[in-house]
Amino acid sequence: MAQVAIGLVNGAFYAMLSLGLAVIFGMLNVINFTHGAQFMMGAFAAWLLLGHLDVPFWASLILSPLLVGLFGVILERLLLKRIYHLDHLYGFLLTFGLALIIEGLAQWKWGSSGAPYPAPITGGTNLGFMIMPTYRLFVVVAALVVCLATWYGIERTRLGAYLRAATENPTLVRAFGINVPRLITLTYGLGVALAALAGVLAAPIQQVSALMGTNLVLVVFAVVVIGGMGSIMGSIVTGFGLGLIEGLTKVYYPPASNTVIFVVMALVLLVKPAGLFGQKR
């Protein structure tokens, strides 16, 4: 059961990250390879804020995504906006290059070994069938809340409606007097902030290290292929679901736990090539 709980925690990260990727892809048509690096930046921001300014975890939970989101906004304004008219390929390559730069710099400054971040909540909670560290429980609940809030924001509010409309037909939405480029910038900032938030939440569980997002982003790509990027809810469900599957694999056949998500991806491609929640494109 403990492994299942860990699986759920990983699922929470997959869900938040694939959600951010989906939101960004919907609006910018860019697969954000920098997502893993921005996840790492979120964790590092929290760690640095704690170490140098004594900012507690709860404040970092807000501050760090804001800072990293702002960084994302700058990136979008300076670089990403120049390549929207090109093939998807170039967005992929550009963000890959940015990820190399960010992770390389972090590795150069702080090395690749991890630094611990103290858990803000200690102790365990008895769930009846098992005792789960309270902090991990908090992560799962927090991720669920954040994911659902993002879903609500995009599917049920006026700003979300603009966003969806601009995804469908940016020219028309501009003609109605809505500042689409600004909307795009904000969307990227939001997606990046989500990644950073996941990073802050991950900091007390994993070690804060320069390469903590490198492999994660590749797994999240597989999650995105499985779920398809058409639906927000689809990303959330797929993320948590795959976390669970990974956790269960750890119980029954540990050697495959690293690869099970990729196997699932292969199976989904065989059976439903467009992804579980995706439209054919």
Binding site for another protein (CB under 8 A): 31, 79, 82-83, 86, 88-94, 96-105, 107-108, 112, 214-215, 218-219, 221-222, 224-225, 255, 258-259, 262-263, 265-266, 269-270, 273-274, 281
Region at 206 (left for phi over 0; alpha for psi -120 to 50; beta for the rest): beta
DSSP 87-121: -HHHHHHHHHHHHHHHHHHHHHHH-SS-B----SS
In the complex, the smallest distance separating the C-beta of residue 117 from another protein, rounded to whole angstroms, is: 22
Q: Provide the 10 A C-beta neighbour count for residue 23.
A: 24
Q: Which residue, 62, 43, 51, is CA-closest to 114? A: 43
CB nearer to another protein: pick between 208 and 225: 225
Q: Cβ closer to another protein: 145 or 263?
A: 263
The helix/strand count (H/E) of the chain reads as 11, 2
| Min CB(11)–another protein separation in Å | 17
Contacts (Cβ under 8 Å, ≥6 apart) of 255: none
Q: How near is the Cβ of 160 to another protein at its closest, in Å?
A: 24
Shortest separation between residue 144's beta carbon and another protein, angstroms: 25
Closest to another protein by CB, 31 or 146: 31
50 or 102: whose CB is closer to another protein? Answer: 102
